[in-house]
Structure 1
């Protein structure tokens, strides 16, 4: 099934001879990956695998909350996954819902757009991944999801350091806005990670998701990885919040320094202006100093410059420059 651009909206994958392959027809032990499916595709999958249409549509709503629901014919798991989006020629970070639907026959994932988490499985870059081992597949998705949060959090930290260097000399709001955008991304991440943590805790109690001995360690790793991401997001969020407040004051102080410099220069430059304005008045020249002197013009210029230099020297001593 394809969209207008020719991109397959429903992709079917199956592990054959230990390797992941994209196949044309779904069979038992397959993985159906739905990316921004159309209404027709949703109805077809819902009818074929006896899944509620609303459950298939749920992850297409960006505001959908993370949760687990156990139905008669399937189990629905919805978590938030991190995404990279481009706004104003810059990369920013957010989250969107990702659902995992497990039936007796196959496993289905539904997401609004392609994500780097699922892309690793599609490209065969995940070791010990088999589409027919549904429990392990779920845990591997959740583990890679938590790892991707950590990866993006480290990138956000590096970006904040780059913006920090620019802000030290900045008098504009551009860098502050960048910090606020990064802080907003951290808020999204923290909220999503906490919601995912609740899902992981409930996953421990779902009997239908069989936990084999080999998968127990993986589930523990998923929970630990998610907790680390939460802690890291909280730390970075606190640092970024304090940094934003501090640099807001720095930007304001930089602007005050510029204004002080301009005011000082204006005062120094006003001295020659006052003198020249006095000589330009329509009055009797006999009352003006050096008016009759052959070198009067040069003397007035030199005196004006000397007075300006003296005032500039006084201001420099008072650190007004």
Structure 2
């Protein structure tokens, strides 16, 4: 038995934002636009959204204070503005950080939650309607029920998860990614790749999520060797398509050990989320070759690799970053990871020894 839920209405393709006037108008009279400080202004996505709002006669107010890996404090500030301005819906424009922040801002506009309840629920009222406009091809947040925040009190990144966080509307226009720098293109593509792989291998994977995962992996296999330099619109479109599909995958099956371990590398060592995942993926796939050999072989077929050693060599060339972890850091990170849901979600008998061994391997 399995379930499938994906209530987000998705527009995909060049110019799709302009097609959403009626959908936007149905959500209310005034929007809170949530972005980072500059990228949405540079790539044209903010102007495109504002043009739709104004053509529909809708008001809007801007909250452009979202940082990378947004904090609990930031989303509380955004919600305060939303309540003050009495907005009817929230639009997140950007990569995963603004979209994740927008979801929780929408939730906090309608719920008075302390820091503990924010991550655990229950939530008494549904959030304001959420619209997402991705401008990178990585997180898949435009189609998920998950928001990841930095929780300084817990000393790591944590997830807010509820079916209520599915966006009502998502507008995925690959043209907004044309100016994304090379290192961000690589980081976000590997983040999305990890979503497809982890969701495919997860204990909660379903026949339906596997279909989307294999389709995403097929498109990643076409372009993993083309992530450097200037990318054509056609490649950017394929990467966003694969990223969105991978988002649908994790909205059904969740993420696993790679994400649980990667959060520590991001929070304590400053690695971007995608780069942290990239450091960990090869060793994770070695575990999967043991526990899920058939699926692991299918991953290699779709991506065009001979196996985990071949994949690891490719990743070291694509992401030559290194990290040196002390024994104390490995012990600390392992303790944090073993308390997370990512351990039980992984199709492997994950012990503290397994986690510590992977951290030690990438620290070589």
Could you tell me the TM-score, scaled by structure 1's length? 0.30
Q: Which has the larger radius of gyration?
A: 1
Larger strand share, 1 or 2: 1
